[in-house]
Amino acid sequence: MISEKDLAELENIPYEQRIERVEKLLEGKESPRAFELGLLLALKMGQEIREGKELGSESGDLVASWNGRHPDSIIEEAIAFAKEFLTNPAKLAENIKQGLQKKEASADQPKQADGNEAQNG
């Protein structure tokens, strides 16, 4: 799983190495999350833009390679995440932070046994 720490570290390394690092994080994963695929796609699209290439000239091949390996819903979500990364990265970073905080808060709360909260009668 790619964490907020991973994202912060990515900001401090050269662009091409960012792509390599995310590819390594995803390497061998049977079912990566849409967010993770979207991050890779956004980096590839950003690379195309930086190099003056037509958008999709290489990143389109990446998305095509996902067909058959990942469900269509995951691919569609990944594309949406990639667009969000490119157009509004600050908003996406805030959403990630909030999601991690919720996850930590729910992990800190003790779990209750089923049926203890509601009783008929």
The whole-number pLDDT of residue 108 equals: 72
Phi and psi at 115, nearest 5°, equal: 90, -5
* pTM of the predicted model over 0.85: no
Predicted pLDDT at 40: 93
Q: What is the pLDDT of residue 56?
A: 93
**Stretch 65-72: mean pLDDT, rounded?**
94
pLDDT one-digit tens code per residue, 79-111: 999 999 889 888 877 777 777 777 777 777 665
* Residues 38, 95: Cα–Cα separation, whole Å: 15
Q: What is the arithmetic mean of pLDDT over 65-75? A: 94
Token readout for 32 is 């990566």
Percent of the residues in the chain that have a pLDDT greater than 70, as a whole number: 86
Q: Is the pLDDT of residue 48 over 80?
A: yes
Q: Which two tokens stand for residue 42?
A: 């956004």
Q: What is the CA radius of gyration of the chain?
A: 18
Q: Is residue 50 over pLDDT 80?
A: yes
- Answer yes or no: are the C-beta atoms of 13 and 19 closer than 8 Å: no
Please tell me the chain's helix, strand, coil percentages from 3-state DSSP, rounded to the nearest 5: 65, 0, 30
Identity of the amino acid at 59: S
22 or 5, which is more confident?
22
Q: What is the pLDDT of residue 110?
A: 61
* Whole-number pLDDT of residue 111: 53
Query: Residue 42: in which H helix or E strand, if any?
Result: helix 34-50
Which residues, listed in sequence order, are joined to residue 67 by a DSSP beta bridge?
70
